[in-house]
């Protein structure tokens, strides 16, 4: 179990995350939703061990995250941030290889890198420099990196994904959700910050709705996604399962 208890994060005199508890179990996908500035990315960074909370504790396998060394933690969880700055002209395959442990042989590494790039539909760009890729392609390469990181260590562990679909086109948004579900099905756990509620409902076993740093609802999507929640979360009047005026699309399946 990967669990955060009573997390508070303060910055500049402001309470960004306020008494939040969240648990991520193997075999499950948890999606965090909420408006801009709700504290979603900050909470994910606390869970990842990249930011220390002002109060509260994160525990992985019932051990405080502060007691994990970086190498051991990298075997158990991989983090995809919103954006990654790369200062040098690395090839896409070299970016993915950054997720591999140093003790991997060259042949093992090449095989795993190829598998990860294929999983995100980026095999064609293996020998292309990262800075020549589009924003969405870069995001998919980074997703391949975190997949390779966990695959190199048994294929399970926890994926922490911060807006993994934000810069992707429609088919790759759906493909990313499928990767998340497949990882959970294989025994891993997934925590994803998502802005698209339809995508969140499609992929998640549990939704956690954050507003102003606090959890205002948590549970199975079918149980908590209501007109009342949308109004409270976003200050928007919306009808859940209502049909809008004009054409609309509810994409759910990739046809290959």
Residue 212's pLDDT is what? 95
Cross-strand partners of 77: 158
pLDDT by residue (tens digit) across 5-27?
Answer: 999 999 888 999 999 999 999 99
Separation between Cα atoms, residue 238 and residue 193, nearest integer Å: 21
pLDDT by residue (tens digit) across 83-94?
Answer: 888 889 999 999
pLDDT by residue (tens digit) across 31-41?
Answer: 999 999 999 99
Residue 6's pLDDT is what? 97
Cβ contact 97:148 at 8 Å: yes
Reported pTM: 0.92
**Structure tokens that stand for 98 in this block:** 């950054």
Res 255 pLDDT > 80:
no
Residue 39's pLDDT is what? 95
Residue 252's pLDDT is what? 67
Res 254 pLDDT > 70:
no
Element (H, E) at 171: helix 170-185
Average pLDDT over the chain reads 93
Cβ contact 67:24 at 8 Å: no
Percentages of the chain per state (helix, strand, coil), in multiples of 5: 40, 25, 40
pLDDT by residue (tens digit) across 140-190?
Answer: 999 999 999 999 988 889 999 999 999 999 999 999 999 999 999 999 999
Radius of gyration of the chain (CA): 18
Res 80 pLDDT > 90:
yes
Per-position b or e across 25-41, b if 16+ CB within 10 A of its CB = eeeebbbbbbeeebbbb
Domain architecture of the chain: domains with CATH: 2-224 (3.40.50.300)
């Amino acid at each position: 179990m990967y669990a955060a208890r009573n997390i508070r994060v303060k910055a500049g005199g402001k309470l960004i995350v306020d008494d939040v508890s969240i648990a991520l179990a193997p075999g499950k996908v948890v999606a965090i939703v909420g408006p801009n500035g709700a504290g979603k990315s900050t909470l994910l960074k606390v869970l990842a061990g990249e930011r220390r909370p002002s109060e509260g504790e994160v525990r992985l396998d019932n051990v405080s995250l502060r007691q994990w060394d970086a190498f051991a933690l990298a075997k158990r969880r991989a983090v995809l941030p919103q954006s990654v700055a790369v200062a040098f002209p690395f090839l896409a395959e070299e970016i993915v290889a950054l997720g591999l442990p140093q003790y991997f042989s060259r042949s093992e590494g090449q095989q795993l890198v190829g598998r990860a790039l294929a999983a995100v539909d980026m095999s064609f760009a293996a020998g292309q420099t990262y800075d020549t890729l589009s924003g969405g392609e870069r995001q998919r390469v980074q997703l391949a990196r975190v997949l390779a990181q966990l695959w190199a260590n048994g294929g399970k562990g926890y994926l922490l994904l911060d807006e993994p679909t934000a810069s992707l086109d429609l088919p790759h948004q759906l493909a990313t959700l499928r990767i998340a579900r497949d990882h959970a099905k294989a025994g891993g756990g997934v925590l994803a910050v998502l802005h698209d509620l339809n995508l969140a409902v499609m992929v998640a076993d549990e939704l956690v709705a954050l507003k102003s740093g606090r959890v205002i609802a948590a549970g199975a999507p079918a149980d908590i996604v209501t007109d009342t929640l949308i109004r409270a979360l976003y200050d928007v009047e919306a009808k859940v399962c209502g049909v809008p005026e004009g054409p609309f699309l509810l994409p759910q399946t990739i046809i290959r």
